[in-house]
Structure 1
Amino acid sequence: MSTVIEQAVQARLISSAPQLENVPATLHYDRADPFAVRMAFPPPATLEGIEVVWTFSRELLAAGLDESAGVGDVLVRPYGYGRTVLEFHATEGVAMVHIRTTELRRFLKETQELVPDGTEHRYLDVDQDLAELLSS
């Protein structure tokens, strides 16, 4: 069984322009980092022309599907029927994207089948993490 889940999604970039722009993105979950979800945007979808990856908690993503969640750099909230908004705050500005809630729920279901909620601590390699921390 694979220990990594990746799911391509279509995100709609919200901007001051009248039209919403579709951008590809990839959701990534790795059992080796069981509390985190990563969302990657490829170079053509970013202002810098390089891949941009945001890391945030799986719990935040799940909570934001039903009500506003998050404090700080990543905020997640439901938006109308069938959409979820993810807000990414950086020093350069704020990026907001809409994603179909069904895609996010499917992704979360797969992550929970791999690592059920409440069992994340069983997948941490504390000894390895401590060794890496002490070696640097």
Structure 2
Amino acid sequence: MQKQITAQAIISEMRLEFVDTEGLSTPLGAAFEYDPVDPYAVSVLFSDEPTPVRWTFARELLIEGFYEPTGDGDVHVWPCLNTTGAAVVILELSSPSGEVLVQVESRSLAAFIHQMVAMVPQGAEETLVDLDAEIAQLFA
């Protein structure tokens, strides 16, 4: 039986900082988003761009990267200290058109992760996905 989630998506606006090649940071408006309709994914919407940019990746990367370096391919996440010694989490995002390195305050990200895991505990994601229906849709 598939579990039904009636909760709405979590959207948490946060101040991220773009980190340039010199190590200097520039504030950047963004929002972290989690929707239990897609329980394995989390998104970051960068809204300060003329055209907003959304990155969607495995929520497990965000959870694990909060504690230790993780990632493979286009998304890498790791805990760090910024230039003032404050705890931050770094997200390195790569695409064919370029790379970006951003940092977010650990405390803000921890609150988002806590909400996300309270809504859908780790390991419970599979109960929200009807794999047979997903496969049938692929072959329809």
Fold shared by both chains (TM-score > 0.5): yes
Residue 72 of structure 2: SS of its match in structure 1? coil
Residue 77 of structure 2: SS of its match in structure 1? strand
Query: Hey, which bits of structure 1, 4+ residues long, moved more than 4 A?
Result: none
User: Percent identity, aligned pairs only?
Assistant: 30
Please identify which structure carries the higher helix content: 1
Q: Deviations over 1:35-55 (max 9, x none)?
A: 11011112x33xxx3221111
Between the aligned partners of 1:89 and 1:100, the Cα distance in structure 2 is 21
Q: Deviations over 1:109-130 (max 9, x none)?
A: 1011111111111111334423
Structure 2 CA distance for partners of 1:95 and 1:134, relative to 1, 3 Å: same
5+ residue gaps, structure 1, are none
Q: Partner of 2:60 in structure 1?
A: 59
Match of 2:114 among 99, 109, 116: 109
Amino acid of the residue matched to residue 60 of structure 1? L
TM-score, normalization: structure 2?
A: 0.85
Between the aligned partners of 1:78 and 1:92, the Cα distance in structure 2 is 25
TM-score, normalization: structure 1?
A: 0.87
Cα-Cα RMSD: 1.7
Match of 1:6 among 11, 15, 26: 11
Q: Deviations over 1:40-74 (max 9, x none)?
A: 112x33xxx32211111111111111211101100
Residue 7 of structure 2: SS of its match in structure 1? coil
Aligned length: 131
Matched, 1:118 2:123: yes
5+ residue gaps, structure 2, are 1-5
Matched, 1:37 2:37: no
Residue 113 of structure 1: SS of its match in structure 2? helix
